[in-house]
Structure formats: C-alpha cells, structure tokens
Amino acid sequence: MSILIEFKNLTGVQNFQNNLAEGMQEVFSETADAILFESVTVAKDRVRSELRKPNSRTGRYLHSIHAQAVKTPFQVMGKIASNHPQAAVIEFGSRPHVIEAKDKSTLFWPGASFPAKKVNHPGTPAFKVLGQAVEQGLQNIQRDFQQNLARKFSD
C-alpha cells in the first residue's frame, strides 16, 4: 500500500494539514465500527451455533448482545456487552454453590428423582462468548485500518 501526497503550493500544505486530523479521526472511527460489527456478529453466531456452548441459539441473551462506540476528537472507544441478567455467569462462569428453595417451597426440575429444599449446584463453566468475539474481531484490525486509510486518503 502506498499513498502519494503532492503539494504544488503553500495552500495545498495548509489544506492537507487542516484535513489530516479530521481524516484520521474518520479512519479510526470507521475502523472501530468495523471491529465492533465483526465482534457482535461473531458473538451472536457463537450463541446460535448448535456445536458450541451456551446452546441458547435464540432468546433474550442473544438479542441482548450489542455494541456501543464512544467517539471524541481524541479517542474512539468501543464495547461489546449484554444486559441480560445471566450474562456475567455465561461469560465468567460460577463457582459451586448451594441453591435453596424460597418461602417454604421445594426445588424440582425435569429429571429430578424427588423435590428438595436445597441442592448443591456444581457451578457453571465460563463460556467467554463476548471476550473471544472481541479477540476475533481484533484479528483484522490492521487490514481494516489500512483499507479505511486508503479509502480516505487516496484518489
């Protein structure tokens, strides 16, 4: 990749200098948008996959995955997140813990031999849906940046 910049007079130098900061901000912004879009797509594809955990495929967790970008003149920040109540458990897992019935009721689920007042939950493994999606989205940052740079500053 190469970019040719030719100045024929002082006005050209001044115009280039004035437009460079704005142009680079657009390049950074477009690159961040591409990374966020790819990361959300990867996260949702992973949730939909029948071969990978957490096996929810549809529903509130899938629809809660979203991206948000904060852009200022000096920085571009992005985040991939979920506001689902179980998102933290899906992402980071949980330790073994005791589940107790509330209000003098009992716990029962399909496949249980009998109702119980409390059960020892073995814990949940971390599925790292969002973290791994961001890592995968960042793999193409150099390519995305170069494409956006060339698109902005080439004829």
Residue 73: its pLDDT value, please?
Answer: 79
For every residue of 62-87, DSSP letters joined together read HHHEEEEEEE-SS-EEEEEEE--TTH
Residue 79: its pLDDT value, please?
Answer: 92
77: domain range? 10-84+127-153
Task: Please report whether residue 108 resides in a domain.
Answer: no
Using alpha carbons only, give the angle 129, 141, 80 rounded to the nearest 5 degrees.
30
Task: Please report whether residue 138 resides in a domain.
Answer: yes
Task: Please report whether residue 133 resides in a domain.
Answer: yes
- The answer to whether residues 129 and 90 touch, using CB atoms and an 8 Å cutoff, is yes
Task: Please report whether residue 101 resides in a domain.
Answer: no
Task: Please report whether residue 142 resides in a domain.
Answer: yes
Report how many domains make up the chain.
1
Mean pLDDT, 10 residues at a time, over the chain (155 residues)?
63 73 88 94 90 70 93 87 93 94 86 88 92 93 92 78
Could you give the CA distance from residue 60 to residue 77 in angstroms, rounded to a whole number?
Answer: 26
Task: Please report whether residue 57 resides in a domain.
Answer: yes
Helix (H, G, I), strand (E, B) or coil at 32: helix
Beta-ladder partners of 121? 97
Task: Please report whether residue 37 resides in a domain.
Answer: yes
| pTM for this entry | 0.74
